[in-house]
Amino acid sequence: MGNGMRKERNKAELLFYSICCAFAIAFIRPSLKMGLGTAQELGPGLVPLLSALVILGTGIVLIVRILLGKGRTLQDEAVEDLHQKGWIRVLIILGGLAIWPLLSSAVGYVIPTFLVSFCIAKVTGYSGWRGPVLLSIGVALGIWVLFSRVFSTDLPAGFFF
């Protein structure tokens, strides 16, 4: 990739990250207006506020990396180019995330979360079977314990939980 193309790409990335930061900043005030709640009862604005802060922080870090010239190398750019297999992976991940709420309402939260996280792990290239299975069990049960037990949120019960 030539130097001119790299500069154009950096400009495009700077624009995208700046737009993400602007949206994150725009979401902070409405989140605070909704209320953050207390330690005993979380408010509806807490998750949007935390999401906006994470997006804002990530955007700022990425902008600084580009401005300091610590962007990607040519090898990283070659690996990142999307081809047909890459698009299929993206579609499988999006399909899994779209099916997840439908399955959750039918069979409960834990089983679909396990299945979707397992599929995402395999599609993204996690090799072997033991690692993705353990990761999926940890994700499904960890999130269930966090929301069901810690936050006292009712999750779809399904057959087993």
Every domain of the chain and the residues it spans:
3-80, 84-150
What pLDDT is attached to residue 59? 92
- Report the alpha-carbon distance of residue 21 to residue 54 in Å, rounded: 10
What pLDDT is attached to residue 160? 53
What pLDDT is attached to residue 117? 92
pTM of the model: 0.52
Q: Determine contact, residues 72/10, Cβ cutoff 8 Å.
A: no
Q: How many CA atoms lie within 13 A of 87 on its CB side?
A: 3
What pLDDT is attached to residue 80? 54
What pLDDT is attached to residue 148? 80
Residuewise pLDDT in 10s, the chain (161 residues): 556 666 777 888 899 999 999 999 999 999 999 988 887 888 888 888 999 999 999 999 999 998 888 655 545 555 555 566 777 888 888 998 899 888 887 888 888 889 999 999 998 888 889 999 999 999 988 888 888 888 888 777 666 55
Provide the β-strand partners of residue 42: 37
The count of residues in the chain is 161
- The gap from C-alpha 159 to its chain's centroid, in whole angstroms, comes to 28
Provide the β-strand partners of residue 37: 42
